[in-house]
Structure 1
Amino acid sequence: MKIRDLWTEAMAGMLARPVRTALTTLGTVLGITTLVITLGVAATAGNQIVGRFDELTATSVTVEVQENEGSPLVGWDAVDQVTRLRGVESAAAVSEARESANLSVRSNKLVDPARAGAQTLTVIASTPGLPAAVKGRMLQGRYFDAGHLKRADQVVVLGEQAAAMLGITRVDRAPAVFIEGRAYTVIGILGAFRREKGFGGAVMLPPTIGRRYGLRDVTRVLINTSLGAVDLIAGQAATALSPGNEGMLQVISPPSPTRARDGVQDDVNGLFLILGLVSLVVGAVGIANVTLVTVMERVAEIGLRRSLGAARRHIAAQFLLESTLTGLTGGVIGASLGMVAVVAVSAAKQWTPVLDVRLALAAPAAGALVGLLAGLYPALRAARMEPVDALR
């Protein structure tokens, strides 16, 4: 046969029984869909589950301090009280103000057309423990310490992006920057942030000179804890920072292990519920296809029963019962094999098998329901047959 004739015959064969062809095609479609869903949803759920476990490894606690018209809620020395708590690895107090968010900063007073002029940068004040609190690293020089604060030295530390914008790459020659016209010596460049990466474009001042730019009160406290101590520190930090004013401090901490565990369980249950429902649809299409083929093969039997007095409802009830029994049998066998598979996999992986008795009892009923729904169209088609047409 020529390819064109072969194509014509194949199309004619498919279109001769459109419903049967559609059901067969639907089975293939659902099979491929199940494969794609299995791979895609498994990858998506796996990423979600990994993200939830990453939450367990988070050890960062942030305390937001509200503005107070009277005395400040948190003093600059209150960080020392937090670092004494068992489980705290590092902590730092930070002051950020609206008026210091966009200040003019220059690296020199000369106008050089080949280099950038004044930059608009954020200026913040912090305690000496900021590098450890933001999990950063000193790329050049050092961070200011308690001695700088006590002497009120005119020094600053630049974030790595701020230093690049100002053209400062070395601090061994004590370069200066001018903030709103005031000169400060750059003693270090802080970078490689793993927390609060926004500080990379900031200029960091000691609290003793930050007051000039509205940086008087502590607005945030950054705390790093050891693994497993987040919940404990989150409950104690506010009291340690400002006894009696705990309600005015907002503590932000990672989710508790219980929430993460429940989230993982919900993700896994949702994943396999989707896969199970898709598998049930594939099974329903298979039952419908087989029942329809059975109806086509038993046309003579249907015509004979109709001619002997059987009503349409009798024919429909017969095929509905057959498909329901098929689904019920599949549900019983499937539930049994599923439980055996769970026990076998658990034994191979040395896991503790968890079997839901309610699911095992509901599986046969679900199979019968699927069979009943799958047999509706074939049963209705069999009931609509006229005795004369069937016998012909």
Structure 2
Amino acid sequence: MHVRDLIGESVAGMLARPVRSALTTLGTVLGITTLVVTLGVAATAGNQIVGRFDELVATAITVEVPEQEFEPLVEWTAIDRLTRLRGVESAAAVAESDDGSNLSVRSNDIVDPSRVTTQSLTVLAATTGLPEAARGRMLQGRFYDTGHVRRGDRVAVIGDQAARALGVTRLDRSPAIFIGRHAYTVIGIMGDLRRERNLSTAVIVPPTAGRQFGLRDVTRVLVNTTLGAAGLIAGQAPAALSPGNADMLHVVAPPSPTRARDQAQDDVNALFLILGLVSLVVGAVGIANVTLVTVMERVPEIGLRRALGAARRHIAAQFLLESTLIGLIGGVVGAALGVVTVVAVAAARQWTPLLDVRLAIAAPVAGAVVGLLAGLYPALRGARMEPVDALR
């Protein structure tokens, strides 16, 4: 049989039952579309995961400052030198001590035995850039500024959970809290912390006011850098904070995110790839089922063609080509729908769509291969029929 005749017979066989052929093609279209969409959305979503991972993890540095008996290693004013480094977005110095842990804090000066008005909270001192360094925001009021620090004002900022525990819900009347016997005016409530979440249960005071709680020396420095600058700033921060004792400071820098990032993206891709392959298998089963039914319906035609001299390879080739063409058409349509869907999803989520061009090109080929494999058994079954049995 000439190749042209084989193609003509296959196309005629498909067009003889257009509705059935369309429904059979639909199975491949859904499978290929699902495969392209899942892989495309996985790549796009994986890119967003990587961006969030880099933003929240790969830019955070902590400098641990050991305690010294005489002179502090890091002065409070050293933060100004640190923030001048290129690549530093925000930084804050924090002082914590055992004396400031579990202090008695209450929101009024009245002792009421019938109510629990006293809370055990941690009091710490910090510089004015703490909200940005902790990646939080002021839910109410504001954070204290350099004027409060310079004057030694007795002001405080409390975390959102500490505010609920103390019953502080409004700041328009300048509420006060009592730390021991000393009153402090609450000027702000801080929350939505993405770093140092323990601050939500703490009371934060200026460094000048924290001395009476043993918060004299800096114990930690929080640094946020631009993306990609963490390694450089980790090496420069000790010298900027304590030029003469840089080797005594311990820097906790984020590990390289490349390996963890790649593993996370590979896991997402593998998950969506499995889902896409399952959909593709479902489409292949549909093609095999319909092709087998077609072979059974065309038994008299097969017998007549065999009686007129058609060899088994001609019968097998005809049905294989029909199923391959169905898979190819479904692959082309499915790839187009998949690309459009990925772009639409990315646009709706305001993401940058990522789609491998090789996937869009390989999708029609995959559809044709699926059609070929799905039609293999029906074609062989039709080819094995004897002319006399088929005509009978």
Partner of 2:227: 230
Give runs of aligned pairs for residues 146-295 of structure 1, distance below 5 A: 148=149, 155-168=155-168, 169-170=170-171, 175-178=176-179, 181-191=180-190, 193=192, 195-196=194-195, 198-207=198-207, 210=210, 215=215, 218-224=218-224, 229-232=226-229, 235-242=232-239, 244-245=246-247, 248-252=250-254, 277=277, 280-281=280-281, 284-295=284-295
Q: CA deviation at 1:166?
A: 2.1
Q: TM-score, normalised by structure 2?
A: 0.61
Which sections of structure 2, spanning at least 5 residues, go unmatched?
1-21, 342-352
Identity %: 45
* CA offset digits 1:279-321 (Å, max 9, x no partner): 75465345424432332133246567899999xxx85x55543
Contact 1:239–1:245, Cα closer than 8 Å, also in 2: no
Q: Distance in 1 between matches of 2:178 and 2:166?
A: 8
Give the direction of change, closer, same or farther, for the CA distance of 1:141–1:303 in structure 2 (3 Å limit): closer
Partner of 1:122: 122
Structure number with greater CO (CA < 8 Å, separation at least 6) is 2
| Secondary structure in 1 matching 2:253 | strand
Q: Distance in 1 between matches of 2:357 and 2:167?
A: 65
| Secondary structure in 1 matching 2:140 | strand
Partner of 1:321: 317
Name the aligned partner's letter for residue 185 of structure 2. V
Partner of 1:296: 296
Partner of 2:347: none
Q: CA deviation at 1:331?
A: 6.9
Q: CA deviation at 1:119?
A: 0.9
Partner of 2:78: 78
- Please say if 1:103 is aligned against 2:99: no
Partner residue of 1:63 out of 61, 64, 67: 61
Which sections of structure 1, spanning at least 5 residues, go unmatched?
1-23, 346-350
* Count of matched residue positions in the alignment of Structure 1 and Structure 2: 349
Name the aligned partner's letter for residue 64 of structure 1. T
Q: CA deviation at 1:326?
A: 3.5
Partner of 2:9: none
Contact 1:292–1:378, Cα closer than 8 Å, also in 2: yes
Alpha-carbon RMSD: 5.6
* CA offset digits 1:13-58 (Å, max 9, x no partner): xxxxxxxxxxx99988887788888888887876655555556776
Q: Distance in 2 between matches of 1:344 and 1:164?
A: 49
* CA offset digits 1:143-185 (Å, max 9, x no partner): 264764685x66543234423422344486673412xx34242
| Secondary structure in 2 matching 1:112 | coil
Partner of 1:348: none
Partner of 2:140: 139
Contact 2:331–2:368, Cα closer than 8 Å, also in 1: no
| Secondary structure in 2 matching 1:86 | coil
Q: CA deviation at 1:204?
A: 1.0
Give the direction of change, closer, same or farther, for the CA distance of 1:338–1:238 in structure 2 (3 Å limit): same
Q: Distance in 2 between matches of 1:191 and 1:373?
A: 62
